[in-house]
Amino acid sequence: MNQDFVAGDVHPSSVPALEVTNAGLRYGRTWALRGCFASVPQGRVAALVGPNGAGKSSLMRLAVGLRRADEGDVRVFGRPPRGANLPRVAFVAQDKPLYPELTVAETIRAGAGLNPRFDTPGARKRLDDLGIPQAKKVRQLSGGQRAQVAITLAVAKRADLIVLDEPLANLDPLARHEVMEGLMSAVAERGLTVLLSSHVVAELAEVCDHLILVSQGRVQVAGDIEELVSEHRLLVGPSGTAPAGTYDVVGSSETERQTTLLARVRGPIHDPRWTARELSLEDMVLGYLRTPDAVLAPRPVAL
């Protein structure tokens, strides 16, 4: 029987799995990221969303310790992703870099040789459960099977934070579903934290409960998806006016007769001429993507 996480014991610690504070990363003279803030609590499945070139991969490289921040601070479970803290993080790159000429079984042996805490029996069982033949060479596997092998290595490493760059790219719909099932099972069984990048928001709604939206090297908005969605409204009212209330405008458009605002509201909108409509996750994300300059990420609280 699988171990069940019962109510109340899912988040054993209040230290965030990932904490990014005013972080910047530079390639040569160009800043790929600047002034980024994000905090992902343990046990969450976080979506890293943004257009190509926005800085998603750079943020992931910081999180897994492949790069050090040129300014600001990046912490994984309260400590920098370096040295003894590194085994707690696993990275599944987009091209799922596995050795094509190794068999699956040899790949598992290589993983065991490279990672001190590697769970070989767990990895073998997981591959059996997924129906992946271990005698086959990696190059003989389908794209979905390769993704499953890469995720199996990350899980068997006993990492507590798994970072995946576009795990569903180039997979057919059935394989996408199966990869997500496998990943979510691992989250349930191990209480993992996951950070995954994607630009297909519709696929993330059932899977992710946390969002980090990046654009032009900044975190535009980040937080619990349900809270974010409940705070955002589409406000529609007469042109040339603004509704009374406390809110931040993310984006706006204007016609001759009416003004439409995407806003993060901090209290009720008391204005009979304006209507406030709730948004789906997808609409909210699209609203931000349309206005890449809007940055409403949390700022650090002064201590």
Partner 1 sequence: MSGLIEFSLDKRSGVATYMQIVQQVEQAMRLGRLGPGDRLPTAAEVVGRLAINPNTVLRAYRELESRGLVEPRPGLGTFVQRSLGRPRDPALERGLVSWVREARAAGLGPEDIRALVESALSGGLTEEATA
Which residues are near partner 1 by CB under 8 A? 1-7, 9-10, 43-45, 177-178, 180-182, 184-185, 187-189, 206-209
CA distances from 162 to 17, 18, 157 (A): 10, 11, 10
Q: Minimum distance between the CB of residue 8 and partner 1, rounded to whole angstroms?
A: 8
Residue 268 CA to residue 159 CA, distance in Å, equals: 43
DSSP state letter for 68: -
Q: Which is nearer to partner 1, 6 or 303 (CB)?
A: 6
Q: How far apart are CA 249 and CA 278, in angstroms?
A: 15
CB of 138 to partner 1, least distance (A): 24
Give whichever of 86 and 184 is closer to partner 1, judged by the CB atom.
184
For partner 1, the closer of residues 32 and 156 by Cβ is 156
Least Å distance, CB 184 to partner 1, is 4
Minimum separation from the CB atom of position 195 to partner 1 (A): 14
Expressed in angstroms, the distance from the first to the final Cα of the chain is: 46
Closer Cβ to partner 1, 165 or 178, answer by number: 178
Q: Which is nearer to partner 1, 160 or 178 (CB)?
A: 178
Q: Cβ of residue 122: shortest distance to partner 1, in angstroms? A: 13
Distance, CA of 11 to CA of 249 (rounded, Å): 33
Nearest CB to partner 1, comparing residues 181 and 293: 181
Task: Name beta bridge partners: 278.
Answer: 233
| Nearest alpha carbon to residue 209 among 228, 185, 190 | 228
> DSSP H helical segments within 87-214, as ranges?
104-114, 120-129, 143-156, 173-190
Give buried/exposed letters for 53-68 (b at 16+ CB in 10 A, else e). Answer: ebbbbbbbbbbbbebe
Give the residue with the Cβ less far from partner 1, 49 or 250.
49
Q: Cβ 12 to partner 1, closest distance in Å?
A: 13
The dihedral of CA 110, 194, 37, 54: what is its sign? positive
Angle between helices 120-129 and 143-156 (to 10 degrees): 150
CA-wise closest residue to 166 among 255, 56, 271: 56
Per-residue tokens: 143: 């794209």
- Taking the complex as a whole, the smallest distance from the CB of residue 157 to partner 1 amounts, in Å, to 19
Quick one: 2 or 255, whose CB is closer to partner 1?
2
Tell me how far apart the alpha carbons of residues 121 and 127 are, in angstroms, rounded to a whole number: 10
- Minimum Å gap between C-beta 119 and partner 1 is 16
